[in-house]
Amino acid sequence: MTGSEPPTREAAAATTTTITSHHVPAKRLVSFSTIDFHEHSVCLGDNPGGSLEGPPLSIDWEAQRHLQVKIDEYEACRQRRATEQLIIPVEERMIILKEWGYSRTDIRKLARPVHVERARRKASRLKYYANHNHHRGGGALNITDILKNIVTLGCNGKKIREEVFIDDSTTSTLASRVCDAQRAKERRGSFASTQQQSLSHHKTTTLLASSSSSSSSSSGKDPVVVDASQTSGMSSNESTVPLNV
Q: Contact at 8 Å (CB) between 231 and 239?
A: yes
Domain ranges across the chain: 34-114, 115-192, 197-240
Q: Cα dist. 129→48, 56, 143 in Å?
A: 20, 26, 7
Give the whole-angstrom CA distance, residue 214 versus residue 208: 10
How high is the pLDDT of residue 172?
A: 42
DSSP β-ladder status, 159-163 and 34-44:
unpaired
Q: What is the pLDDT of residues 47-100, one digit of tens each?
A: 887 666 788 888 888 888 888 999 888 888 888 888 877 888 888 888 888 888
Give the whole-angstrom CA distance, residue 239 versus residue 100: 75
Q: Which stretches of the chain drop beneath a pLDDT of 50? A: 1, 139-141, 148-172, 216-245
pTM: 0.37
